[in-house]
Each structure stands twice: as C-alpha cells, then as structure tokens.
Chains A and B, each alone.
Chain A
Amino acid sequence: MTRQLREVVFVDGVRTPFGKAKGQYAETRADDLVVKLIRELTRRNPDLPPERIDEVAIAATTQIGDQGLTIGRTASLLAGLPQSVPGYAIDRMCAGAMTAVTATAGGIAFGAYDVVIAGGVEHMGRHPMGEGVDPNPRIISEKLVDPSALVMGNTAENVHDRYPAITKERTDAFAVRSQELAAKAYADGKIQPDLVPVATRSAENGWGLATTDEPMRPGTTTEDLAKLKTPFRPHGRVTAGNAAGINDGATASLLASEEVAKELGLPIKMRLVSYAFAGVAPEVMAVGPIPSTEKALAKAGLTIDDIEAFEVNEAFAIQVLAFLDHFGIDENDDRVNPYGGAIAFGHPLASSGVRLMIQLARQFEERPEVRYGLTTMCIGLGMGGTVIWENPNWTGESK
C-alpha cells in the first residue's frame, strides 16, 4: 500500500482552573477533573460526532488510585463517550500531556487515527510527587544518576551553578513578570474562555465552583520574593516564589487530521510542524528544553529566528532563563509567555503541556503576523520536550 503522511491540527483545548494542593480540589477526584474536560470538548464542538473520536490519551505521573485504572479509558467511559472509543494512559512526568499530544499526533499522521482527545491530569494534593516510587538501588550503587536529580528543586539549583549569570534577582524578576502578565491576561479575558468550571466538593463548606486559577498571586513584588526561604539549599536561589507550586489540575485537547477537521467543519487553531524530546544529565533536568528545541527545529528545517511565539513552561524561572539565554532571547521579550506561565497559574505536572498549547493557540489567534511558535518544557530525570506549531491564521508570505 502507499501511504501519505497527513497534517495534524490542534482543533481545541480546554483545562480546569488549576488549584493549590489541599485547596479548591482537596476533595475532588483527579478522574472527575478529566471527565469535565471531555464533556466540554464535545459540547464545544457539536459538529464532531463522538463516535469519530479514535483515541483518548490521558497522562498522569502518578498512576495510582483515581489517576490509575488506565485513566484515558475510564475517563472516557465516565464522560459518556461511546463504548467504542478506546483510551489509554501515558506517563512522561511533566511532559505527560505533551507526550499524549505527540504520540497521538504521530498516529494521526500515520493514518491510525482521525480525531483524538489528548490531555493530562495531576492531582498533586492527592498524589504528591514521588508517591509510591521505588528507585532501583543501582542508581545509587553505580552512581548512574546524581542523587540530587530526584528532587526537582535541587536540579534547579544545579542549573544556577551551571549558569552563574542567572542570578536570583533575575529569576525573581521573571517570576514577578509572570504574575503580572497572568493578572493582565485575566483582566483582558484571555484565559477564561478555555477554562471549564468544576464543582468542588468540601465536606466542611459544601459544594462550590472553581472558575479561576487558585495559585495566582497578583501584585507580587521582587521585595516579597526576596524574603522567601530557599528550601533546597541554605542561601540558595530557588524559592516557592520563582518556581511553580504543588498543584491540581487537568487539561485536554482535540487533535485531528487536517482533512478530517475540514470535513467535519472543526476549527483549526494550530498546525503541527515538528516535535522532539531529548535527554540531558538528570541532575540538570531544567536545561532539557535546549537540546529538544534544537532537535525539533532541525527536523522542521527551521532556526530559532523563525519562531515568533514561545510558550515555555515555568517549572522554575531558571529553566526559562537558561533557555532564553541559550538562544539569545531577552527575558522580557513579549513573544515569550505573554499571558504569564506556570509560576502564576501552577504546574499540575502531567497536565501542563496542553496548557502551553492552549496559550500558544491564543497567541496565534491574536497575532496573525506570526507564522511559527513553539511549546517547550523540561521533564524530570533529565529531559526536554518541544513541539513546533504553525499558525493557520498567518497570512504573510513565507520567508
């Protein structure tokens, strides 16, 4: 048989408002967070017959309890999708949802799927990082991995060691920028259209409704941040203020082959150009996006100069600054995380990849002069992931 590669498009993306661990979702199940999103995606895209969905890929880092039981399948059943729609679970820690997107996108390009739901969830309140892990003793005995690699905050401190030019002042300032931009994006209504309200259960307070990101701290100043403790090292640089928090939340996106999206009359928000994952030394996990981006650019035949919109995950401010310094981009460049990032919104591990895509799609919509954008993030145990997208609204001539 002859096979033709198919274009993959990002049709739509939604997420729950993010919560602080033990906060608004303290008594809400992780699988329920995903269920609301699947419902909303089908509700928002009534032209999509649900039986046309070929896969539901949902990521979670800790696949235990309400994040276990093959969450892509259970969430799809709980959401009332037809039983004929299959689903599975994915794990690549922080890049879970990103991997759900790239894995299913590969399937679409190959012709195995027409339409998929890809997303992720992490309820870090119910499932703290490292819950139930059992690291192989060889990691220590054979010094395969620096022991500091298992604590993400330590790896961020290690990156500060590698790049002495990135000071705590710079990371704090970047954190303040994130909070300011996020607050402005909220005020301008850039975030809310893709948030799905979630009813929150509380035995103490009764039912409520989560409609906003709980972790945000608008009005944060560098003076406030300067006072915070550095929990990972005495007189260190990484604080709760210049890193993302411990959060609960879920994201989900609808991807399709471009021709099927057109056939069904589905909107096209982004077109996939290329993607790549790359490994680095686990103890400097936060530099992962640098090689993964270089790899993805090379595959696409593009250079960093072709990229005019960036959504870089703010697991730690140091990670973004290392990335920007490497590529020679100013940390206040308004092409970078223009609506704020994970430092403000939160970073429920396996869910964040699709949040980046939702925000990049918003950038594309507002800036038709932009042709290419990328989403990138660092990943535990020393990896980075990058997905490059093309703006379907772009009207200019190719360079």
Chain B
Amino acid sequence: MTDINTLLADVEKLFSDDEVVTAAKLAKVNLPSGKVLGLVTLDNGHDHTRPNTFGPKSLVELNTAYDAALADPEIDAIAVTGKPFILAAGADLTSLQAGGADGIRTIAELGHAVFRKLGDGDGTTKKPSFGFINGLALGGGLEVALHADYRTIQDSVPAVGLPEVMLGLIPGWGGGYLLPNLIGPAKAAKVFIENPLNNGKVLKGAEAYDLGIADAMFGGADYLEQSLLWADKVLTGDVSVEREPIDRGDAWDEAAKNAGFFAWAKTGDASPAAKKAVELLTLAKTASRDEGFAAEDDALVAMSKTPQLVASLYSFDLVQKRAKRPAGAPDKALAQKVTKVGIIGAGLMASQFALLFVQRLKVPVVMVDLDQDRADKGVAYVHAELDKKLAKGRASQDATNRLKALVTSSIDYEESFSDADFIIEAVFEEMGVKKTVFANAEAVAPETAVFATNTSSLSITEMAADLKNPERVVGFHFFNPVAVMPLLEIIRGEKTSDAALATAFSVSKSLKKTSILVKDSPSFIVNRLLGRFMGEVSKVADEGTPVDVVEAAFAGVAPMGPFALIGLVGPAIAYHNNETLAKAFPDRFYLSENLHRVVEAKKSSFFGPDGRTLDPEVEALLVTGDVVKTAEETRRQALEAIADEIGRMLEEGVAQAAEDIDLAMITGAGFQFWNGGITRLLDREGISEKVTGKKFH
C-alpha cells in the first residue's frame, strides 16, 4: 500500500484537461436530533445523460471533501450521494486507458485510499458513514457507497451493478472484497461475475435491496429526506441495522467454486478478468481489508496488461457509440415517416416481422399471402404472442387491444399496399419469386414506398433491376430470432437512393436494432464470415478430425461450437448459405458433402438431445478421411481463413471498416466482447499480419 500523499502527488501526472471532473460538494446538514451530517454530493455539472465518473481529478476532489468532513469537529457523520438520478457510473475509462500500467496502479490505489476513508476514517478520525444510492450506481459508482458503514437505496434506481468483468476489468475499488463480505459470496458472484457475463445485466434498486446491498429502501418521492431521517435514527440508536449473517464455512468455498464453473462455462476459460474475479471472491473469505484491497490493486494492474482489456474497451465503445451512429448512414432528414407497413408473406419469418414492427412502430401492419388461410395464420401467431405478453403481465389489456387491432391479413395487394410506406418481403429465398412479388407490389404501392428485402444472400441490385423505381429497394437483413438478436444489416443496392436508405435506418432505429451499412455482396457480413468459418471447420471434420475436437476448438472465440451453431440455425439454412457463397467464391468456400447428407436426411442437428454427443444416426451418415488435427491446429486454420476473408471484405468495401465487422459479429453472432469481436483477436495472435500482410488496427 502506497502512502496516500505519494499517490496524490503521483496522480497529478495523470491529470488531463479532457477529464469531466466530478466535483464532491460537502454540505453540513442539520438532522432533527441535532447531529450534523457532512453530506457529500457527487456532481459533474452535467445532467443525467452524462453520468458522474471518477477520473484522477475527481478522486482528488472526493479526497478533499472526505478530509474536510473528517476534520470538521461539528460534523458527526459522513454521507455520500449523487446529483439527481445518478450516483456515479464508475471509473473514467478514458483516463484509465491513458495512464498505462503505472497509471492504473496509481488510480487503483488512490481509489481505495480515498473511498475507504468512509469505512476506515483517515487514520486518526473515523466517523459513522452512509452511502445514499439515489440513482445509477455502476462499478466505482457502487463501490463508493460500499465503503460506507450503512446504505440506503431508492427503489426505482434503474441500474446498480459491478459490470467490470464484462469490460475485461475487475471490481477494483473495493467491490471484490467488500461485496462478498456484505451480502455473501453467492450473491456477490451474481453481481460481479454472473451478471457481467450475462451481457452486462444490472440490478434495479429493489433487487439490489433484496440482495442486501442496502440496509433501507425508500421511494423516489422523498428518497433523500427519508434517507437523512433514517441516518439520523441510526446515529441516535433508534434504528439498529440488522444484516443476514454470512456463512464463512464450506458454503463460501462452494459458492466460489460455482462462480468458477459459471465463468468457465460462459467464457471457455478465455476471459482473464472472469478468472481473476473468481480469485478475488475466494480470497475475500479470509483476507483482511488491506489484503483484499491490495489484491484488487494487483488484479487491476494485471488486467491492464491483458490484451483482453484493450479489446473489451474497444467493444464497449463499438456498442455504446458506433452502434448509435451507424457509419455511412445518409442524413436522417431524408427519411420518410412510416405510417403503415406491408409484409409480403405470412410464414414464420413474416410473422416475427409483423410482431416486431407492430410493437415498435405501433402503426398498421398488413400481412399479405397467396391464400387467406395462410395470411390469417400469420395474424393468429402475432395475436397469440401478444396475448402471452399480456398473460405474463408485461403488457396492459388496452395496449394489447391496440396492437392486435393494428395487425391484419389480406390476399389483396392493392387494398393492402396502396397506402403503405414500407413494404418488406419475407417470401421464399429465390430471386424469381422475390422479383415477382416486388413487381406486383410496385403496381399498387405509392411511388415513394420503400421496398425492403430480408434476403440473406441474394443480390439487392438484381432484385431491383426490373422495377420502375429500383432506387426504392433496400436490403434489410435480420438475424434469428428476430426479436432477440440486435443486429440488422442494411444493404445498399447499386441504385438504392439515399432517401430509401435513410428510411431504412430510421425504421431500424425505431425497431431498436443495431444497424450496419453493407455493400450489396454475397451473404453480406455475418453470414459470409460464418460461412467461411463453417466451411473451413467442416473441411477439417470431413478430412477426419473428430467433431468434438473441432467443436472444442472455438471456446472463447464464438459463443458456441460450429456444429452447435448448425443445430441452432438449421442444417438446411447453413448449407444453403454455404452453397450461395461457394457459387460466388468457389475457390474459397467449401461445400461439405457430410452436411449435405445431414440435410438430405432431414436431421435438425448433428447432436442428440443433450446437445453435446453426436447423434448416432448422424454419425452413420458421415464419411470422413483420416487426417486428424488437434484442436489448436483446427482453431488456427479456421482463424486464418477468417482473417483472409475479412481482409477481402474490407478491400471490396463490403464493410466500411474493421469496426463494423466486429460490431456485426458481436451483435449478430454473439462473438465475445473481450476478443473485440474478432479482428482484435486476429491482430493479437499475429494471424492478420501473417495472412493479409498487415494488422486490422
């Protein structure tokens, strides 16, 4: 542990004019009992859209406020809270990145040294302390309150958590030690290991209270008043705080072990941060405060040296910033208002579209099919899904009535499309069929209506070619399941107008999708890369490497093994994608005869019901060679193929930048945050350089 004065001197080297400083304002509050509370308000001077963060200067500010409160003889106790709606959103990641490993050690140690003044005092004086979690409290924003002796929380706080592991970090300002010692190791593991690995899930105020993170909970109407009055009663002894005792025996070891299993299963042992977080959880059982905090400092420094941290921060930036401002999207002022949506087709995909469009846009959605029964079935599906939501209490009767009334079926193009602004087709994946339905729609639709196609592989340009207004056609490629997967690839055909494209982006935004602009090309981004990847691993498997070895080779790269993925999308669709690509690029895309056989046999997966062991019937179909590769060789070969394909896609302008490829793979294929999607991993392992002659970044 470095002396705080040394840290305060060292941290000055990390000062930057760019830091949005979170001020710590100390006010003396007279409580009804006559006691005086030193109330520290964290406030960076911006509204809630720019949450408080802790950079170097902010930590120094907080230290000054705590020192003043400890030194003031009139002040009986200290509390910390935030500006309206926000306690704090944690460390200032920019300053964390800027300081390098030495900087990170300084920031880590200083954060501990400052925060712990609430819990430990300054060495000479210790005063009772309170954390008032009045709003969003993430990472260091929660830790600042965890150091206090007592906490209250507002019941409606939208986000409480320690998401560091998701970013390749660990809760390093006391969270890793204090939280398990406050609420027990199993609940702590949920907060700082499981939730971050479940796409960064966070807790609501009431959930955090139920876990024991706060000792009292109050409503938003008079949260701070009630917190202050409650604190007064704690100080006078009128309220005594009871907490659930923590089992420090075998149950602790068991909880740490379970957390370890969870992390391993979720990350394929590939996230150093997850592993480190489990270590901290284990250590917290026996460590002293000093030891626990020192271990966090070491862990933060260790994490700062991992490439996974850089990659995670890169991914964070992609999904937080790039996803909100799609690169290459035309001026949104060009977009036209969509007041009615037409869907051509009423099958499962069309029905999923209808469900999504009606819920998000809340405009009439008409499903048109060749016969009325089929069209009605589509509507029935949407109605049933809306009713399920109603039954679960996730929608009101009125809102359900409204949405159900908006979805209709028809077989009449003219009646359906003459006033539609956005028409999307979800018919059979065949160029002739798609051209016909678009031609029929164009005969009756307004001249300005945008035509969207959900094709996963056909050419947008060709689909539009025979229309009177080819500029209205745009690719609008969803990922399955439509309601869940965030990605939407938006494809510009040769003639697609800026206006049509702008409308597509605007609709995508209303649908709450992450959209990426893609050039019209075979299978676009995600399916092309997955296709190359699947082709490569199928080849390895067909040549003789056992399926389970191939499957195991991708732990930590993809969210699941390639053959499990085939089961998820369906062998027929996987094969069809590969066929399209093999036709376009016969020299690179391998078509597996074995996969074809599985498709012919109408098997829905390579695996049996457990999802892991090869289905004996499938096994009997496979014809394999005798070249057996190791998992590592398989992985390497597949990654090299991916690097090659990405290089080509960037060269061809399919994607506008490596960033878009990573964003697509993270949001469309569930590729890992801590790999930065894929290109950071390829750079780090030297694969991109070897294959393409240069790094992607």
Contacts and interface: CB of A to CB of B under 8 A. Distances in A.
A206 B25 contact: yes
B39 interface: yes
Given A80-B219, A197-B32, A201-B84, A206 B225 contact: no
Interface string A199-215: 10111111111010000
A204 to B, nearest CB: 8
Contact of A36 (B26, B222, B228): B222
Given A39-B221, A201-B84, A206 B39 contact: yes
B32 A206 contact: no
A207 B221 contact: no
B81 A209 contact: no
Contacts of A204: 25
Contacts of A78: 221
Given A206-B39, A206-B40, A197 B225 contact: yes
A199 B225 contact: yes
B625 interface: no
B287 to A, nearest CB: 34
B22 to A, nearest CB: 12
A198 interface: yes
Interface string B22-48: 000111011110000001110101000
A203 B228 contact: no
A209 B225 contact: yes
Contacts of A211: 30, 32
Given A197-B228, A203-B43, A209-B228, A79 B221 contact: yes
Contacts of A202: 27
Interface string A205-249: 111110100000000000000000000000000000000000000
A31 to B, nearest CB: 11
Interface residues of A, number: 21
Contacts of B221: 35-36, 39, 78-80
A202 B83 CA distance: 9
Given A205-B25, A207-B27, A208-B29, A36 B41 contact: no
A35 B222 contact: yes
Nearest to B223: A199
A36 B30 CA distance: 18
A36 to B, nearest CB: 5
Interface string B213-251: 000000101101100110000000000000000000000
Contacts of A35: 221-222
Nearest to A27: B84
Interface residues of B, number: 21
Contacts of B224: 199, 207, 209
Contacts of B84: 201
Nearest to B40: A206
B39 A198 contact: no
A211 B32 CA distance: 8
A184 to B, nearest CB: 19
A39 B39 CA distance: 23
Q: Pick the most buried of A36, A197, A204, A211: most chain B CB atoms within 10 A of its CB.
A: A197
A39 B31 CA distance: 19
A9 to B, nearest CB: 26
A209 B29 contact: yes
B520 to A, nearest CB: 51
Interface string A369-389: 000000000000000000000
Specify which of A78, A198, A203, A206 lies most central, judged by the most chain B CB atoms within 10 Å of its CB.
Answer: A206
A75 to B, nearest CB: 10
A203 B27 contact: no
Contacts of B29: 207-209
A175 B111 CA distance: 54
Interface in B583-624: none
Contacts of A36: 221-222, 225
B225 to A, nearest CB: 5
A86 B45 CA distance: 38
A208 B219 contact: no
B384 to A, nearest CB: 30
A199 B228 contact: yes
B20 to A, nearest CB: 15
Contacts of A196: 225
A207 B219 contact: no
A39 B27 contact: no
A198 B229 CA distance: 11
A80 B29 CA distance: 27
Given A79-B221, A201-B84, A207 B39 contact: yes
A205 B27 contact: yes
Contacts of B222: 35-36, 39-40, 199
A293 B25 CA distance: 51
Given A79-B221, A199-B228, A203-B43, A208 B32 contact: no
Contact of B41 (A40, A197, A206): A206
A198 B225 contact: yes
A203 B41 CA distance: 9
B583 to A, nearest CB: 61
A347 B45 CA distance: 33
Contacts of B26: 206
Nearest to A75: B221
A40 B25 CA distance: 28
A36 B219 CA distance: 11
A206 B31 CA distance: 16
Nearest to B23: A206
A209 to B, nearest CB: 5
Contacts of B41: 205-207
A207 to B, nearest CB: 5
Contacts of A209: 29-31, 39, 224-225, 228
Interface in A34-55: 35-36, 39-40
Contacts of A206: 25-27, 39-41, 43
A209 B29 CA distance: 6
B140 to A, nearest CB: 19
A36 B40 CA distance: 22
A202 B27 CA distance: 10
A205 B28 CA distance: 10
Contacts of B43: 203, 206
A130 to B, nearest CB: 30
A235 B45 CA distance: 47
A202 B228 CA distance: 17
Nearest to A201: B84
Contacts of B228: 197, 199, 209
Contacts of A80: 219, 221
Please indicate which of the listed interface residues B32, B40, B224 has the most CB atoms of chain A within 10 Å of its own CB. Answer: B224
29 contacts: A35-B222, A36-B221, A36-B222, A39-B221, A79-B221, A80-B221, A196-B225, A197-B225, A197-B228, A197-B229, A199-B222, A199-B224, A199-B228, A201-B84, A202-B27, A203-B43, A203-B45, A205-B41, A206-B25, A206-B26, A206-B39, A206-B40, A207-B29, A207-B39, A207-B41, A208-B27, A208-B29, A209-B31, A211-B30
Given A205-B41, A207-B29, 12 more contacts: A35-B222, A40-B222, A79-B221, A80-B219, A197-B225, A199-B224, A199-B228, A203-B43, A206-B41, A207-B39, A209-B31, A209-B39
Interface of A: 35-36, 39-40, 78-80, 196-199, 201-209, 211
List of 9 A-B pairs having minimum Cβ-Cβ separation, nearest first = A206-B41, A206-B25, A199-B224, A209-B29, A208-B27, A207-B41, A206-B27, A199-B225, A36-B222
Interface of B: 25-27, 29-32, 39-41, 43, 45, 81, 84, 219, 221-222, 224-225, 228-229
